[in-house]
C-alpha cells in the first residue's frame, strides 16, 4: 500500500488540522532525539516530523540516522517552531532502510560541486541537485508541450547512423568487430563489410538530416534525443553525450525560424518559473552565495530570477554576422587587445567574442544571422550575396551558443555545388537529396542543446552539473 502515502510537497500545502497521513522519505537530520527533517524528493522543503520524547523505543530512535529511510504515520498539526507552518506528530515510525551515518559520504555540510561530481550517484540527495533535476524535468516536459500545442510531430531519429557527412564534430564509432586483429581489406584497412551492419557506423551527432526527411512530408517535426560528439574539448559547455532538441519546419524561412526559436526558449523558461518557483528560488540563492566569492566585476549584474524575467520580457537582439564583427572591431576590448583570438570578417567567432557581444555589449540574448558560407555546414541556404548563408545562432549570457540553426538549401543545383566544394559525398546522401528532387520546399530548423538550456535556467556554471551522469573526455563513471 505504498501509494497511500502523501508526498511532502502536497502535505506542506495542507491546512494543519489533525489529519492523519503517512509519509515516506529519507532522514536529512535528527535533532534532540525528537525532530526529524524528512525529505522525499518531491520538494527541497523538508517535513518536520516530531517523535515525542518517551513515546518511541530507544531501539527505533537509534536507527533514525542521516539517510535512513522511514515510513511515518502521524497527524498534521500547526508547528509551534519557527521556519515551518506545520509539522507531523508521529504515531508510528517504521525504519524501511538503515544507513550507517559514519560511512555516509554526504555529511550535513556544504560540499563542493567538484566533490559531488565524484559521488554523482548520491548527489540527487542534495538540495542543489534535487532542484536542478526537478527543473530539468519541467523544461523537458515543456519542450513536448510546446511542440504538441503547435501540431509538431515528435520524430525519433536514429542513434546509430552510417552517414558521417555532417561535419558537426568527431564521431564515436559503433562496431562489433574485435579490437585486436579486426578483419582487413586487401589494402590493409579495417573491413567494415564484415561489421554488424555491413558498413561503418557511428553514434549520431545530430538528427537533422533525418529530421528534414520527416518535415518535408509531415510538415513540422521535432526530435529530442541524445547526441554524441567525441570532441576533446574540456570546457564547461561541452559534453560527449548531450540531449538536443531539433525542430524542422517545411514552408519556413530564416525569420520564421528565429521567431519560433525565441518563442520556444521563452515558453520553456516560463513553464519552469511557473512550476518550480521554490527550486528556482533555492538555485538563485545558491548562485548568489557562490558569486559572493568572486571579485565584484565577475559577479552577474542580475540575480537568477531577475535574469530569467528579463529574458522573458525583452526581445532578443537580432544582428548579422557582419554587424557583429563590426561591433567587435569597434569595441574597447578589441582596442585594448583584450581578445586572445583574431577578429576579422570570416572568423568562426570564439567564445570570448560571443560573450562580449552578449554580456558586455547587448546584455541580453542575441541572434546572429548570415554567417560566412565557409564556416558553416553544407546544407545551409546560400544568400544572394554569394558569400553568406541563412544561418542563425542564438547566444545567451553566461553560456554562449545555445541554439544553432538555418534555413536549409532547398535548391538541388546549389546544394550539389556546395557539397562538391566541401567534399561531402553526394552518393552517400542520395536519400537526403531525394527531398530536393521530389517536391522540394523552403524549410528551416534549429538545434538547441538541452543541457545548455538547463544551465541557463538553473544558473549552474558547469554543464557537468546540468545532466545526471556526465560523459566527458576521460570520464564515464556510473
Ligand atoms: P559549439 O560551437 O558551442 O561547440 P556547435 O556549433 O558545435 O556548438 P551545433 O553543431 O550547432 O553546435 O549544435 C547545436 C547546439 O547543440 C548548440 O547550439 C549547443 O547548444 C549544443 N551543443 C553542441 N555541442 C555540444 C556539446 N558538446 N555539449 C553540449 N551541447 C552541445
Ligand atoms: Mn562544437
The pLDDT profile of the chain, 478 residues, written as one tens digit per residue, is: 667 899 999 999 999 998 999 999 999 999 999 999 999 999 999 999 999 999 999 999 999 999 999 999 999 999 998 888 999 999 999 999 999 999 999 988 889 999 999 999 999 999 999 999 999 999 999 999 999 999 999 999 999 999 765 665 689 999 999 999 999 999 999 999 999 999 999 999 999 999 999 999 999 999 999 999 998 888 999 999 999 999 999 999 999 999 999 999 999 999 999 999 999 999 999 999 999 999 988 888 899 999 999 999 999 999 999 999 999 999 999 999 999 999 999 999 999 999 999 999 999 999 999 999 999 999 999 999 999 999 999 999 989 999 999 999 999 999 999 999 999 999 999 999 999 999 999 999 999 999 999 999 999 999 999 999 999 999 999 9
CB-CB contact of 59 with 44 (8 Å): no
Distance 351 CA to ligand 1 centre (A): 12
Ligand 1, atom 19: closest residue by C-alpha:
449
What pairing do the DSSP bridges indicate for beta strands 443-449 and 400-407? Answer: antiparallel
Placement of cell 560573450 in the chain: 355
Dihedrals phi, psi of 407, to nearest 5 degrees: -80, 140
Going from the Cα of 71 to the center of ligand 2, the distance in angstroms, rounded, reads 48
Q: Could you tell me the CA-to-CA distances from 197 to 157, 174, 200, 350, 404 in Å, in that order?
A: 17, 10, 7, 38, 31
Atom in ligand 1 nearest the alpha carbon of residue 239: 28
Find the 233 Cα to ligand 2 centroid distance in Å.
9
Rounded distance from Cα 411 to ligand 2 centre (Å): 27
Pocket of ligand 1 (CB under 6 A): 168-169, 229, 231, 237-239, 242, 244, 401-404, 447-449, 451-452
Q: Which listed ligand is nearest to 448 at the C-alpha?
A: 1
HSE-CB for 336 with a 13 A CA cutoff? 4
Task: Please tell me whether residue 196 adopts helix, strand or coil conformation.
Answer: coil
241 near 226, Cβ under 8 Å? yes
Q: Name the residue at shortest CA distance from atom 10 of ligand 1.
A: 168
**What's the DSSP call for residue 315?**
P
Question: Whose alpha carbon is nearest atom 7 of ligand 1?
Answer: 168
Strands 47-50 and 86-97, by their bridges, are parallel
Q: Are 445 and 454 in contact (CB under 8 A)?
A: no
Ligand nearest to the CA of 232: 1
d(CA 348, CA 333): 18
Contact 107, 456 (CB under 8 A): no
Cα gap 207→447, rounded to integer Å: 9
Residue nearest atom 31 in ligand 1 by C-alpha distance: 449
Q: Residues 6 or more apart from 353 whose CB is under 8 A from it?
A: 324, 328, 339, 341, 343, 347
Distances (CA, A) of 209 to 142, 158, 213, 382: 24, 11, 7, 18
Place of cell 532538441: 245
Written as nine digits, the cell of 176 is 562489433
For the whole prediction, is pTM greater than 0.75?
yes
Of 401, 455, 460, best ligand 1 pocket probe by most atoms within 8 Å of the beta carbon: 401
Q: What is the whole-number distance in angstroms between the Cα of residue 320 and the centre of ligand 2?
A: 20
- Give distance in angstroms: CA of 432 to centre of ligand 1: 22
What separation in angstroms does the CA of 175 have from each of 157, 286, 384, 401?
A: 19, 44, 43, 32
Q: Which of 410, 422, 429 is nearest to 210 (CA)?
A: 429
Longest dimension (CA), the chain: 86
Which position has the grid cell 508541450? 145
Does residue 157 contact residue 210 with C-beta atoms inside 8 Å? yes
The residues with which 216 forms a beta bridge, in sequence order, are none
| CA 443 distance to own-chain centroid | 26
Residue 211: all three cell numbers together: 529530421
The sheet carrying 388-396 orders its strands as: 153-154, 220-228, 241-250, 443-449, 400-407, 388-396, 366-372, 317-320
* Ligand 1 mutation pick, 452, 454, 455, 470, max ligand atoms within 8 A of CB: 452
Q: How many A from CA of 169 to the centre of ligand 2?
A: 6
Distance from C-alpha of 351 to C-alpha of 328, rounded to nearest angstrom: 13
Question: How many angstroms does the Cα of residue 114 sit away from the middle of ligand 1?
Answer: 23
Which residue, judged by its Cα, is nearest atom 12 of ligand 1? 404
- The residues, ordered by sequence, that sit 6+ positions from 97 with a Cβ below 8 Å of its Cβ are 68, 69
Q: If you measure from the C-alpha of residue 387 to the centroid of ligand 1, how many angstroms do you get, rounded to a whole number? A: 23
Q: CA-CA distance, 219 to 61, in Å (whole number)? A: 62
For ligand 1, what atom is nearest to the CA of residue 401? 18
Amino acid at each position: 500500500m505504498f501509494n497511500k502515502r502523501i508526498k511532502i510537497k502536497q502535505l506542506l500545502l495542507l491546512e494543519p488540522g489533525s489529519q492523519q497521513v503517512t509519509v515516506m522519505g529519507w532522514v536529512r537530520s535528527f535533532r534532540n532525539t525528537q525532530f526529524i527533517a524528512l525529505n522525499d524528493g518531491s520538494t527541497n522543503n523538508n517535513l518536520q516530523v516530531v517523535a515525542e520524547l518517551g513515546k518511541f523505543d530507544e531501539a527505533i530512535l537509534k536507527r533514525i540516522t542521516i539517510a535512513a529511510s522511514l515510513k511515518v504515520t502521524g497527524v498534521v498539526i500547526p508547528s509551534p517552531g519557527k521556519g515551518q507552518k506545520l509539522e507531523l506528530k508521529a504515531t508510528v515510525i517504521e525504519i524501511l532502510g538503515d544507513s550507517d551515518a559514519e560511512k555516509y559520504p554526504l555529511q550535513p555540510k556544504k560540499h563542493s560541486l567538484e566533490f559531488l561530481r565524484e559521488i554523482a550517484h548520491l548527489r540527487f540527495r542534495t538540495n542543489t541537485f534535487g532542484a536542478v533535476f526537478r527543473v530539468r524535468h519541467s523544461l523537458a516536459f515543456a519542450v513536448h508541450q510546446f511542440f504538441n500545442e503547435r501540431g509538431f510531430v515528435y520524430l525519433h531519429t536514429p542513434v546509430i547512423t552510417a552517414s558521417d557527412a555532417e561535419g558537426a564534430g568527431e564521431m564515436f564509432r559503433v562496431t562489433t568487430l574485435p579490437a585486436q586483429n579486426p578483419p582487413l581489406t586487401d589494402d590493409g584497412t579495417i573491413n567494415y563489410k564484415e561489421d554488424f551492419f555491413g558498413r561503418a557506423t557511428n553514434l549520431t551527432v545530430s538528427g537533422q538530416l533525418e529530421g528534414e526527411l520527416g518535415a518535408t512530408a509531415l510538415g513540422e517535426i521535432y526530435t529530442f534525443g541524445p547526441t554524441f560528439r567525441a570532441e576533446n574539448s574540456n570546457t564547461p559547455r561541452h559534453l560527449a553525450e548531450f540531449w538536443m532538441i531539433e525542430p524542422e519546419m517545411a514552408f519556413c524561412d530564416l525569420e520564421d525560424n528565429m521567431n519560433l526559436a525565441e518563442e520556444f526558449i521563452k515558453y520553456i523558461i516560463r513553464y519552469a518559473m511557473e512550476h518550480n518557483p521554490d527550486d528556482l528560488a533555492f538555485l538563485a540563492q545558491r548562485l548568489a552565495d557562490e558569486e559572493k566569492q568572486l571579485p565584484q566585476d565577475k559577479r552577474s549584474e542580475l540575480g537568477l530570477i531577475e535574469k530569467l524575467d528579463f529574458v522573458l520580457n525583452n526581445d532578443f537582439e537580432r544582428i548579422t554576422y557582419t554587424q557583429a564583427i563590426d561591433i567587435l572591431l569597434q569595441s574597447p576590448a578589441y582596442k585594448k587587445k583584450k581578445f586572445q583570438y583574431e577578429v576579422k570578417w570570416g572568423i568562426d567567432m570564439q567564445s570570448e567574442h560571443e560573450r562580449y557581444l552578449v554580456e558586455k555589449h547587448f546584455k541580453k540574448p542575441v541572434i546572429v544571422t548570415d554567417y560566412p558560407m565557409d564556416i558553416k555546414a553544407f546544407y545551409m541556404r546560400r544568400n544572394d550575396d554569394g558569400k553568406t548563408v541563412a544561418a542563425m545562432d542564438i547566444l545567451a549570457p553566461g553560456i554562449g551558443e545555445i541554439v544553432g540553426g538555418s534555413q536549409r538549401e532547398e535548391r538541388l543545383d546549389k546544394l550539389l555545388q556546395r557539397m562538391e566544394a566541401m567534399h561531402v559525398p553526394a552518393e552517400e546522401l542520395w536519400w537526403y537529396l531525394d527531398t530536393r528532387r521530389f517536391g522540394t520546399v523552403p524549410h528551416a530548423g534549429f538545434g538547441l542543446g538541452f543541457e545548455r538550456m538547463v544551465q541557463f535556467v538553473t544558473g549552474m556554471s558547469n554543464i557537468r552539473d546540468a545532466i545526471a551522469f556526465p560523459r566527458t573526455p576521460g570520464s564515464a563513471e556510473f
